[in-house]
């Protein structure tokens, strides 16, 4: 439940509302005198201290005693009476309540005091979380002091007066990202009763729910921010964010330099609220049209969807579709949105799927789907079309693509399903099970492809031109130079190729990492400009007549980045060579390059004899059959046709007790 900001602190917070969405942030004058929160006055406002601090508590409630706690619990009639100054030597939350005759009277209040020994100057805004010595956080919310520090005169520090302080709670979030040293968090702001407290946080509109995403495999630190900025400029729904430096102290000692956690993106969560994705609200009684029609926020979450989940019937079908908001659907609402999504799926796999009035355009916002495809393909997001794929449906509206979410494994970072290559299509990855195949179907529609090409060429003359792409990269990185140096002192992984299971650039400087990002992005855009992709002539928008079902256009032959070492080069129609892309304890990623012989191929099949103890767990860009150590990989629809001497590649993940294992390969026309 949201609660209003009390008048005594509203003046401090009002200035934050005037902060720009992006760019430099003017200083906000903090409170410097005694602060009244609820019906309690604290002689010293919330903030940091070094050594010790003395705080007196008082109230204007007639005939009342002030009772307080320092262990995070709510005060009761038996709590300590504030008969004199409270002496603090460690990080403490002081919670207080006025009592008259043993009865709680008036509003409770709290103040947060954090001990720190850090005086480092920061030119980025700083977020401090102190968990009062409760230890490392897990999946459950842990109480924290939350403090925002904005630069004044160019810098700020933990010794400064915070711009904003609040009670809050945080916990770990994420899937693959939580295994990194730089962990992601979910953060809530709380009032004195533990309810959600909406505040304007780091200049973003007031809300209580936030996410801290720490770029780690993304060593440019800006991939997700860049995609968000591009998506917003294109008109897609996109969370606001701030690049901040973060300290998290979970021990009982003062905040120390070792509590520095690096550069993070503080992001809005995706939810149906006034200052977020502002859709029509659904009440439990909204069970008939038109009210039952929205709003809904949905996401495909490959192998990770939580309840409420929507189940598809028939074949082909989606998997792992989660309703993100509202999460307390009544049966009629769940039935409605399930039926709507099922209708889209059925239409896309029906005979008239491309009909301009009765096909998919009747149910989806085509323009948003076009932009969604462009941003996914430009960035080659590893999880595109599988995970963190958000859509929403408002009352009276069609299914719309967005908001964008989770774009750190992009622009060459990742190394799976071909996402590191500047050529080729991300929508053609063959990861199993398929989350949903809608974009694969849409890319078979000449009208949809034409709209993508028209939109792409339009964007390349403006928002996505090489010049504007360079300008966005420069604008994002210019404020980060000093912060990036601190970040990579804390996490010296610039030259590490495998960050967790992901392949990354090994350029040894942050500036080099930024250059790698920019170079990859411009080369990707150049390939998308070719006639094999979205370059070349376009046609006017189609007239509303039925569109025949086309056959898929084959993707161009892909050339793998690494130079493979042959393990078997049989004569005949084709050869197959194996390259170990990466290895780790318990497994490896392999890539097999298929090369046509002296004659063209219309299809190929590679047999793989795996060594003992090696088991293939995933594959892409090929259809793999068989079991155990004897497998056969056959081309998929788009990479079977090879010119004489032409090449393509498929990849796989294998488990291995030793992290090694070279298969024996044989290639034949198939």
Query: Same structural domain for residues 263 and 326?
Result: no
Q: What's the whole-model pTM score?
A: 0.77
Half-sphere exposure of 591 (CA within 13 A, CB side): 23
Say if 454 falls within a structural domain.
no
Task: Convert the pLDDT of each residue in 309-327 to its tens digit.
Answer: 999 999 999 999 999 999 9
Query: Same structural domain for residues 253 and 323?
Result: no
Query: Same structural domain for residues 263 and 297?
Result: no
Cα–Cα distance measured from residue 223 to residue 410, given in angstroms and rounded to the nearest whole number: 7
3-state secondary structure of 436: coil
Say if 57 falls within a structural domain.
yes
Per-residue b/e over 249-262, b at no fewer than 16 CB within 10 Å? bbbeebbeeebbbb
CA angle 593, 658, 419 (to 5 degrees): 35
Query: Same structural domain for residues 122 and 43?
Result: yes
Query: Same structural domain for residues 308 and 191?
Result: no
Query: Burial, 173: exposed, middle or buried (Cβ in 10 Å; 0-12, 13-18, 19+)?
Result: middle
The enclosing H or E element of 626 equals strand 623-627
> Please, which residues have CB within 8 angstroms of residue 189's CB and are 6 or more apart in sequence?
146, 166, 167, 168, 196, 197, 198, 199, 201, 208, 210
Number of domains comprising the chain: 3
Q: Which residues of the chain have pLDDT under 70?
A: 1-37, 176, 541-571, 581-586, 620-621, 637-638, 659
Residue 298: name the closest of 410, 190, 438 by CA: 438
CA angle 566, 568, 572 (to 5 degrees): 115
pLDDT reported for residue 2: 30
- Residue 154: count of CB within 10 angstroms of its CB: 10
Query: Same structural domain for residues 295 and 248?
Result: no
pLDDT reported for residue 516: 98
Residue 404: name the closest of 226, 165, 568 by CA: 226
3-state secondary structure of 272: coil
Query: Same structural domain for residues 229 and 322?
Result: no
Cα–Cα distance measured from residue 504 to residue 494, given in angstroms and rounded to the nearest whole number: 9
The enclosing H or E element of 458 equals helix 446-460
Query: Same structural domain for residues 108 and 216?
Result: yes
Measured in degrees and rounded to the nearest 5, phi and psi for residue 452 equal -60, -45
pLDDT reported for residue 33: 39
Cα–Cα distance measured from residue 541 to residue 126, given in angstroms and rounded to the nearest whole number: 49
Residue 212: name the closest of 168, 265, 173, 170 by CA: 265
Say if 572 falls within a structural domain.
yes
Query: Same structural domain for residues 127 and 206?
Result: yes
pLDDT reported for residue 655: 83
pLDDT reported for residue 643: 80
CATH, residue 642: 2.60.40.290
Q: Which runs of E-coded beta strand occur in 116-269?
A: 126-130, 142-149, 164-172, 185-190, 209-213, 241-249, 260-268
Query: Same structural domain for residues 246 and 333?
Result: no
DSSP code of residue 207: B
* Residue 628 CA: distances (Å) to CA of 557, 578, 624: 30, 19, 12
Cα–Cα distance measured from residue 241 to residue 269, given in angstroms and rounded to the nearest whole number: 10
461: its two tokens: 């003359």
Query: Same structural domain for residues 262 and 166?
Result: yes
Say if 415 falls within a structural domain.
no
Say if 490 falls within a structural domain.
no
Beta bridge partners of 311: none
pLDDT reported for residue 96: 97
Query: Same structural domain for residues 40 and 177?
Result: yes
Say if 508 falls within a structural domain.
no
Say if 416 falls within a structural domain.
no
339: containing domain: 291-408+431-440
Half-sphere exposure of 184 (CA within 13 A, CB side): 21
């Amino acid at each position: 439940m949201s609660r209003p900001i009390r008048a005594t602190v509203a003046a401090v917070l009002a200035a934050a509302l005037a902060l720009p969405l992006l760019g430099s942030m003017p200083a906000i004058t903090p409170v410097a005198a005694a602060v009244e929160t609820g019906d309690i006055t604290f002689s010293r406002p919330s903030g940091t201290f070094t050594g010790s601090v003395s705080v007196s508590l008082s109230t204007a409630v007639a005939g009342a005693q002030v009772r307080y706690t320092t262990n995070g619990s709510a005060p009761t009639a038996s709590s300590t009476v504030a008969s004199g100054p409270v002496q603090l030597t460690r990080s403490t939350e002081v919670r207080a309540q006025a009592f008259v005759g043993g009865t709680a009277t008036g509003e409770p209040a709290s103040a947060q005091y954090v001990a720190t020994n850090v005086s480092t100057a920061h030119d980025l805004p700083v977020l401090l979380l102190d968990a009062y010595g409760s230890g490392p956080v897990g999946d459950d919310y842990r109480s924290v002091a939350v403090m925002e520090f904005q630069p004044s005169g160019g810098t700020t520090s933990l010794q400064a007066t915070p711009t904003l302080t609040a009670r809050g709670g945080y916990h770990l979030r994420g899937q693959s990202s939580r295994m990194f040293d730089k962990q992601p968090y979910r953060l809530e702001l709380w009032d004195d009763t533990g309810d959600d407290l909406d505040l304007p946080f780091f200049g973003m509109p007031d809300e209580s729910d936030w996410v801290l995403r720490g770029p780690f495999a993304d060593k440019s630190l800006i991939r997700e921010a860049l995609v968000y900025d591009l998506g917003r400029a294109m008109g897609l729904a996109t969370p606001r964010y701030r690049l901040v430096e973060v300290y998290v102290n979970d021990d009982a000692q003062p905040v120390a330099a070792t509590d520095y956690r690096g550069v993070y993106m503080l992001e809005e969560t995706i939810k149906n609220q006034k200052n977020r994705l502002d859709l029509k609200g659904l009440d439990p009684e909204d069970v008939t049209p038109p009210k039952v029609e929205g709003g809904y926020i949905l996401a495909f979450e490959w192998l990770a969807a939580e309840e409420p989940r929507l189940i598809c019937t028939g074949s082909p079908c989606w998997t792992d579709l989660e309703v993100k908001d509202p999460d307390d659907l009544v049966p009629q609402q769940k039935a409605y949105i399930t039926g709507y999504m099922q209708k889209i799926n059925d239409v896309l796999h029906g005979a008239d799927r491309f009909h301009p009035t009765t096909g998919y355009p009747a149910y989806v916002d085509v323009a948003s789907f076009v932009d969604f495809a462009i941003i996914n393909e430009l960035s080659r997001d590893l999880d595109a079309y599988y995970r963190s794929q958000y859509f929403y449906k408002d009352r009276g509206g069609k299914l719309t693509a967005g908001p964008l979410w989770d774009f750190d494994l992009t622009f060459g970072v990742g190394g799976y399903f071909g996402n590191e290559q500047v050529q080729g299509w991300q929508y053609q990855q063959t990861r199993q099970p398929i989350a949903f195949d809608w974009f694969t179907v849409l890319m078979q529609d000449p009208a949809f492809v034409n709209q993508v090409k028209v939109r792409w060429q339009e964007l390349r003359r403006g928002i996505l031109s090489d010049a504007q792409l360079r300008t966005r990269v420069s604008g994002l990185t210019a404020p980060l130079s000093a912060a990036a140096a601190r970040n990579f002192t804390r996490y010296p992984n610039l030259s590490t190729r495998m960050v967790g299971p992901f392949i990354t650039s090994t350029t040894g400087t942050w500036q080099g990492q930024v250059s790698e990002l920019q170079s990859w992005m411009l080369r990707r855009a150049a390939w998308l400009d070719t006639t094999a992709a979205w370059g070349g002539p376009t046609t006017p928008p189609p007239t509303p007549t039925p569109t025949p079902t086309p056959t898929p256009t084959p993707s161009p032959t892909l050339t793998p980045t690494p130079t493979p070492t042959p393990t078997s080069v049989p004569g005949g129609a084709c050869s197959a060579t194996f390259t170990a892309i990466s290895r780790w304890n318990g497994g490896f990623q392999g890539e097999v390059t298929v090369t046509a012989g002296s004659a063209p191929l219309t299809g190929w099949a590679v047999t793989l004899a795996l060594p003992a103890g090696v088991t293939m767990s995933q594959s892409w860009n090929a259809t793999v059959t068989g079991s155990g150590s004897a497998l056969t990989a056959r081309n998929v629809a788009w990479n079977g046709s090879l010119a004489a001497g032409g090449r393509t590649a498929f990849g796989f993940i294998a488990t291995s007790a030793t992290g090694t294992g070279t298969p024996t390969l044989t290639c034949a026309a198939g």
